[in-house]
Amino acid sequence: MPPDTVAPVIVFDVNETLLDISTLEPLFERLFGDRRLFRDWFAQLILYSQTMTLSSLYTPFGELAVGSLRMLASIQGITVTDSDIDELKLRMNSMPAHPDAVPALTRLRAAGFRLVTLTNSASATSPTPLERAGISPFFEQSFSVESVQKFKPAPETYRLVATQMGVQTSDLCLVACHLWDTIGAQAAGCYGALVTRPHNAMLPAAGVPVPDFSAPDLTDLVDQIISRWQAP
CA angle 60, 65, 66 (to 5 degrees): 100
CA-to-CA distance for 101 and 19, rounded, in angstroms? 8
- Letter string b/e over residues 93-106, b meaning 16 or more CB atoms within 10 A of that residue's CB: eebbbbebbbebbe
Closest CA to 122 of 61, 211, 63: 61
Query: How does pLDDT run across 117-128, given as a tens digit for each residue?
Result: 999 999 988 899
What are the phi and psi torsion angles at 174 (to 5°)?
-85, 130
192 beta partners: 174
The reported pTM is 0.94
All domains in the chain, ordered by first residue: 9-20+95-228 (3.40.50.1000), 21-93 (1.10.150.240)
pLDDT at 189 (0 to 100):
98
Find the length of the chain.
Answer: 232
Share of the chain above pLDDT 70, in %: 97
